[in-house]
Amino acid sequence: MEMEVTALVGKAYYEITLDDIAGWWILGGRCACCGHQGPFNRARLDKRAQNRLLRFASRFLICTRCRNKQHNRIYIAGKMPR
């Protein structure tokens, strides 16, 4: 089950932070150029980001298909099994 973070959180993308998204959601990254989707390592962002806004996470999102790193977005890829 895939969904947009804006639909999950109910805020505009630019104001959403990692803290708005519970830990059981699995995050993915989507390329703004070619639409390629891939897994996104939340723990890595947690550790390395200076702030927790998703819009600044694009610097950690590089498309593995076309190498684009501009305006890529995080989406909800699914839920952790329990």
Which residues share a beta bridge with 76? 3, 27
Q: By C-alpha distance, which of 17, 62, 21 is closest to 38?
A: 62
The stretch near Zn ion (CB under 5 A) out of 9-17, 23-31, 44-52, 53-61 is: 23-31
Assess 63 for contact with Zn ion (CB under 5 A).
Answer: yes
Residues 30-59 contacting Zn ion, CB under 5 A: 31, 33-34, 36
CB burial of residue 42 (10 Å; 0-12, 13-18, 19+): middle
The stretch near Zn ion (CB under 5 A) out of 3-11, 16-24, 25-33, 53-61 is: 25-33
CB of 69 to Zn ion, least distance (A): 9
